[in-house]
């Protein structure tokens, strides 16, 4: 208690200095007034005399007040506050340094905070629900396959009935259905078929109507759904009368019973819920894929629940060894790191943070260089302070305080920028990288991140402040004795030389990274895909074909689905404005599957060694894309039949695999290689019947020219395909709504998604590269600024230090060239060494980027050989330009040096 109140008093003193000071003054004033009154009352003194006596009795008022102040620790605070004030004044006095150093620190803090927030969010997710840490998932883990066994209907029923340490046990399965909105628009949406207990576990309360109830789970209960806030807003125009309305879900109908509040997305990212109806009995290992959840009962720990579940799991394993022999029942927190299984991924995440901290250290090291140069120019002031009794620690503290003030500004700017970026960039970043973004991934500036950023700032301030402070105050006493105030005691030593060389090297190398990124961005953006992709609408077609009992059953279902797809094609093709409709399994510029091929009686070897890109296309593909085959023929309806062994290759294949020879009539076959490199299970031979143009048979980021092979696609055998619609006039995307309506007329179960214009396929990748481009551009700008400021500071320092020497040289008649050479030889060697090191770095980057990513060290060697004289010349030219840019920073100090008048320089002593 006494410790606590003592600590509280100290905290009050620390943060309420002004209040504490006025309290001391007021207490002393009160005391003197009371004593004065007493003396007037009891001894009949006049007011003036009474006050004089009171003051005399009290003793030296000022002295006592000071004693009190010191006792309260305010003296130290006063000193600190003075340091901070002085620091602020120095920042205003040197605006250039403040700007450069502040921007550099702010960027480093921004980068650190962003990385920490994203890594922490992914590595240590927490459920943003009341009591979220007590919500658990239950699962069967297959120890043989090292994966979750999803068919857990039987176990779900057993666990729900028997577990006492976990309550509100429920389950859900994911489905995608077509939902017809209030405006008649049909779109596929993810729906969770879920137990009613989900709404209790996740504390979900409805905005309108009710949530799902236990009665809805009974098989045969009337079909009902609950709408999510977003769907209600966008698809039902926030209609408050939506409860009670029947809506179409695929080919059936359900009644809306409620609308959830904004933000409710349990179990993952859901916006629509229907009851999970479970029949009374089930067989182990059968049923749909289920995820099971629950809440720990009050007082129960995860270990308690696990112990109970283990007993149940062992019982089932003993009773049904054929399905449960390898299964272990587990209870785990509801959200865990997706990377828990992989140490290398965890290491990668750690490396991200490490990289951000390394960047901070590097940038603050550069800021330290600037602060050192400034501290060096204040050497006389520091010597005087030292002479007046300031300890070395006191002077170091003052210089750190200056860096702290700079850091305080930087952390505000850095965190502000991080807040904006997390709001604007992070959601898009997650969307591109994850299929669905779970509701617990909510990138924002968390308290942890703010504290981390403050820690980074302190680290940065210590690096930027303490290093130069310790260096500049070393031997201060000796210098005082030698009377060399303002003399030549300080030098830029080895550490600073290394900092300058490294800084210039990085400055030279960064623009090259930016250049490569920009080149890549332009390459992807301006890639010629071989047809007028902006006139095409693409969409994904699939349907829930249900659980087939046999292969024949599946074939029959796929055939029925195929006929629906065909009908839809005819209906779409008949629309005005549509000039063609076709199907393909992988869109141009999407990732394509690869395979090894072997050529029949081939070019000297029968080893399958060619990597090709594969796509399956409808016979109408080349017609609809208006790219007629270059040789041979296109596919025709007969090729689609099962067992037909024909392929069409593209020009890339002809040039690279056939080395320009005529491929028509030649045979190829696919092969798979085992890990040891042996060929296994060769596929049947296929005849090449045609040659097509190159039509983007590789993902947008692939730089190599692909060798494409097309196979005929049968829409009656595919559960999911891409439809490509040629809309010659107007924006193809505006046709999407009509396609949806037609599909709904053909079969309400056919789901349409991923509508996009074919020239936009690479957009997500462009966005990611664009984001990195922006970050590296800013970093390049900062590196350049720091370099120029650093060189400028070093040269100014040199000129100031050697003013007298320059004066003497000029007086003795030295030429201007000789003076510049003599004075700037060392700094210029440093800059030159940095430029050379940067050039080498650029060469290395070029070699690495030219290497084929899949060919390892051999690729590097090939790329190194391909490192031509021309490229070397380009790098040399770039290095010279950078040298010139760096020398820009020398202009002012050089002019200053040359402008020194010998008489004035000598008089300075």
Binding segment toward another protein, per CB under 8 A, in 30-38, 101-109, 402-410, 474-482: 30-38
Q: CA 166 to CA 803: how far, in whole Å? A: 81
Q: Which two tokens stand for residue 613?
A: 């890109």
738 binds another protein (CB under 8 A): no
To the nearest whole angstrom, how small is the minimum distance from the Cβ of residue 71 to another protein? 5
Q: Between 18 and 659, whose beta carbon lies closer to another protein? A: 18
List all residues 6 or more positions away from 828 whose beta carbon is below 8 Å from its beta carbon.
Answer: 890
Q: CA 846 to CA 481: how far, in whole Å? A: 55
15 binds another protein (CB under 8 A): no
350 binds another protein (CB under 8 A): no
790: left (phi over 0), alpha (psi -120 to 50) or beta: alpha
* Pairing state between β 186-194 and 679-680: unpaired
Binding segment toward another protein, per CB under 8 A, in 29-37, 192-200, 310-318, 844-852: 29-37
DSSP letter assigned to residue 639: G
To the nearest whole angstrom, how small is the minimum distance from the Cβ of residue 6 to another protein? 4
- Which one of residues 38, 89, 816, 895 is an interface residue with another protein (CB under 8 A)? 38
* Pairing state between β 646-650 and 686-692: parallel
23 binds another protein (CB under 8 A): yes
Burial (Cβ within 10 Å: 0-12, 13-18, ≥19) of residue 576: exposed
33 binds another protein (CB under 8 A): yes
Q: Between 70 and 133, whose beta carbon lies closer to another protein? A: 70
Q: CA 693 to CA 685: how far, in whole Å? A: 23
Binding residues for another protein restricted to 55-84, rule: CB under 8 A: 57-60, 63-64, 67-68, 71-72
Q: CA 482 to CA 514: how far, in whole Å? A: 51
To the nearest whole angstrom, how small is the minimum distance from the Cβ of residue 44 to another protein? 18
# chain residues binding another protein, by CB under 8 A: 29
- Which one of residues 11, 19, 22, 26 is an interface residue with another protein (CB under 8 A)? 26
388 binds another protein (CB under 8 A): no
Binding segment toward another protein, per CB under 8 A, in 3-11, 301-309, 348-356, 607-615: 3-11
Q: Between 16 and 593, whose beta carbon lies closer to another protein? A: 16
- Which one of residues 25, 27, 286, 482 is an interface residue with another protein (CB under 8 A)? 27
10 binds another protein (CB under 8 A): yes
To the nearest whole angstrom, how small is the minimum distance from the Cβ of residue 26 to another protein? 7
DSSP letter assigned to residue 684: P
28 binds another protein (CB under 8 A): yes
DSSP H or E stretch at residue 487: none
To the nearest whole angstrom, how small is the minimum distance from the Cβ of residue 50 to another protein? 14
To the nearest whole angstrom, how small is the minimum distance from the Cβ of residue 7 to another protein? 9
To the nearest whole angstrom, how small is the minimum distance from the Cβ of residue 354 to another protein? 43
Query: Which segments of 588-701 does DSSP mark as H helices, in order?
Result: 621-624, 651-656
47 binds another protein (CB under 8 A): no
To the nearest whole angstrom, how small is the minimum distance from the Cβ of residue 27 to another protein? 5
To the nearest whole angstrom, how small is the minimum distance from the Cβ of residue 24 to another protein? 8
To the nearest whole angstrom, how small is the minimum distance from the Cβ of residue 37 to another protein? 9
Residue 418 CB coordination number (10 Å): 28
Binding segment toward another protein, per CB under 8 A, in 27-35, 592-600, 731-739, 887-895: 27-35
3-state secondary structure of 490: coil
Q: Between 28 and 458, whose beta carbon lies closer to another protein? A: 28
Spell out the long-range contacts of 747-750 with Cβ–Cβ below 8 A and sequence spacing 24 or more: 747/251, 747/543, 747/564, 748/178, 748/180, 748/186, 748/248, 748/250, 748/251, 749/178, 749/250, 749/251, 749/543, 749/544, 750/178, 750/541, 750/542, 750/543, 750/561, 750/564, 750/565, 750/568
816 binds another protein (CB under 8 A): no
4 binds another protein (CB under 8 A): yes
Q: Between 57 and 423, whose beta carbon lies closer to another protein? A: 57
Q: Between 38 and 93, whose beta carbon lies closer to another protein? A: 38
Whether 794 and 887 have beta carbons less than 8 Å apart is answered as no
Whether 172 and 291 have beta carbons less than 8 Å apart is answered as yes
> DSSP states of 301-325 as a string?
-HHHHHHHHHHHHHHHHHH-HHHHT
Q: Which residues bind another protein (CB under 8 A)?
A: 1-6, 9-10, 23-24, 26-28, 30-31, 33-35, 38, 57-60, 63-64, 67-68, 71-72
């Amino acid at each position: 208690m006494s410790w606590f109140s003592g600590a509280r008093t100290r905290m009050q003193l620390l943060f309420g200095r002004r209040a504490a000071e006025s309290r001391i003054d007021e207490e002393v004033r009160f005391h003197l007034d009371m004593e004065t009154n007493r003396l007037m009352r009891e001894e009949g003194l006049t007011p003036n005399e009474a006050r004089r006596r009171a003051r005399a009795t009290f003793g030296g008022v000022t002295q006592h007040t000071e004693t009190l102040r010191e006792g309260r620790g305010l003296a130290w605070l006063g000193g600190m506050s003075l340091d901070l004030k002085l620091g602020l004044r120095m920042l205003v006095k040197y605006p250039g340094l403040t700007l450069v150093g502040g921007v550099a620190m702010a960027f480093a803090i921004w980068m650190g905070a962003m990385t920490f927030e994203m890594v922490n969010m992914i590595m240590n997710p927490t459920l943003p629900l009341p009591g979220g840490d007590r919500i658990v998932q239950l699962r069967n883990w297959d120890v043989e396959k090292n994966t979750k066994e999803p068919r857990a209907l039987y176990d779900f029923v057993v666990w729900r009935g028997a577990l006492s340490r976990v309550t509100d046990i429920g389950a859900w399965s994911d489905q995608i259905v077509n939902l017809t909105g209030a405006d008649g628009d049909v779109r596929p949406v993810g729906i969770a078929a879920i137990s009613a207990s989900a709404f209790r576990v996740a504390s979900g309360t409805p905005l309108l109507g009710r949530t799902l109830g236990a009665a809805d789970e009974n098989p045969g209960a009337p079909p009902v759904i609950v709408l999510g806030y977003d769907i209600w807003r966008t698809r039902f125009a926030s209609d408050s009368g939506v409860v009670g309305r029947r809506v179409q879900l695929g080919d059936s109908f359900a009644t809306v019973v409620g609308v959830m509040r904004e933000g409710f997305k349990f179990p993952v990212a859901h916006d629509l819920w229907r009851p999970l109806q479970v029949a009374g009995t089930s067989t182990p290992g059968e049923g749909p894929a289920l995820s099971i959840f629950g809440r720990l009962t009050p007082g129960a720990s995860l270990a308690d629940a696990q112990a109970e579940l283990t007993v149940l799991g062992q019982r089932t394993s003993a009773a049904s060894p054929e399905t449960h022999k390898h299964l272990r029942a587990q209870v785990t927190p509801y959200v865990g790191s997706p990377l828990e299984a992989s140490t290398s991924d965890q290491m990668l995440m750690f490396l991200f943070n490490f990289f951000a901290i390394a960047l901070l250290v590097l940038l603050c090291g550069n800021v330290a260089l600037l602060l050192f140069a400034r501290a060096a120019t204040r050497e006389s002031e520091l010597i005087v302070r030292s002479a007046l009794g300031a300890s070395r620690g006191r002077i170091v503290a003052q210089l750190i305080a200056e860096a702290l003030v700079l850091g305080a500004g930087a952390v505000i700017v850095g965190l502000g920028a991080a807040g904006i970026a997390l709001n604007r960039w992070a959601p898009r970043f997650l969307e591109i990288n994850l299929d669905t973004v779970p509701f617990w991934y909510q990138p924002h500036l968390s308290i942890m991140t703010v504290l981390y950023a403050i820690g980074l700032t302190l680290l940065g301030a210590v690096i930027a402040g303490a290093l130069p402070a310790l260096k500049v105050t070393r031997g201060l006493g000796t210098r005082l004795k030698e009377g060399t105030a303002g003399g030549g005691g300080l030098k830029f030593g080895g550490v600073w030389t290394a900092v300058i060389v490294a800084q210039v090297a990085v400055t030279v190398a960064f623009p090259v990274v930016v250049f490569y990124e920009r080149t890549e961005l332009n390459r992807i953006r301006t890639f010629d895909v071989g047809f007028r992709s902006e006139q095409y609408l693409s969409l994904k077609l699939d349907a829930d074909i249900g659980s087939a009992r046999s292969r024949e059953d599946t074939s029959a279902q796929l055939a029925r689905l195929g006929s629906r797809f065909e009908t839809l094609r005819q209906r779409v093709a008949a629309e005005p404005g549509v000039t063609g409709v076709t199907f393909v399994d992988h869109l141009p510029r999407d990732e394509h599957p690869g395979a090894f091929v072997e050529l029949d009686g081939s070019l000297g070897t029968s080893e399958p060694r060619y990597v090709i890109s594969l796509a399956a296309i409808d016979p109408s593909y080349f017609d609809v894309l208006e790219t007629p085959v270059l040789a041979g023929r296109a596919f025709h309806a007969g090729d689609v039949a099962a067992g037909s062994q024909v392929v069409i290759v593209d020009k890339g294949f002809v040039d690279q695999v056939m080395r320009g020879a005529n491929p028509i009539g030649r045979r190829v076959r696919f092969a798979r290689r085992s890990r040891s490199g042996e060929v296994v299970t060769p596929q049947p031979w296929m005849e090449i019947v045609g040659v097509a143009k190159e039509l983007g048979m590789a993902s947008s980021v692939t730089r190599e020219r692909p060798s494409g092979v097309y196979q005929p696609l049968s829409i009656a055998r595919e559960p999911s395909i891409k439809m490509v619609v040629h809309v010659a006039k107007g924006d193809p995307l505006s046709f999407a709504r009509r396609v949806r309506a037609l599909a709904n007329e053909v079969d309400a179960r056919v789901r349409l998604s991923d509508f996009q214009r074919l020239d936009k396929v690479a957009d997500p990748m462009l966005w990611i590269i664009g984001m990195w481009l922006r970050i590296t551009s800013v970093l390049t700008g900062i590196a350049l600024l720091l370099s120029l400021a650093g060189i400028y500071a070093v040269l100014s320092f040199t000129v100031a230090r050697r003013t007298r020497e320059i004066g003497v040289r000029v007086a003795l008649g030295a030429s201007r060239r000789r003076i510049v050479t003599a004075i700037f030889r060392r700094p210029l060697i440093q800059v030159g060494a940095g430029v050379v090191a940067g050039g080498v770095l650029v060469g290395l980057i070029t070699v690495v980027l030219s290497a084929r990513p899949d060919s390892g060290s051999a690729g590097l060697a090939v790329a190194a050989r391909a490192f031509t004289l021309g490229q070397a010349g380009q790098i040399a030219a770039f290095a010279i330009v950078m040298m010139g840019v760096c020398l820009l920073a020398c202009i002012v100090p050089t002019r200053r040096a040359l402008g020194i008048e010998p008489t004035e320089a000598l008089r300075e002593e």
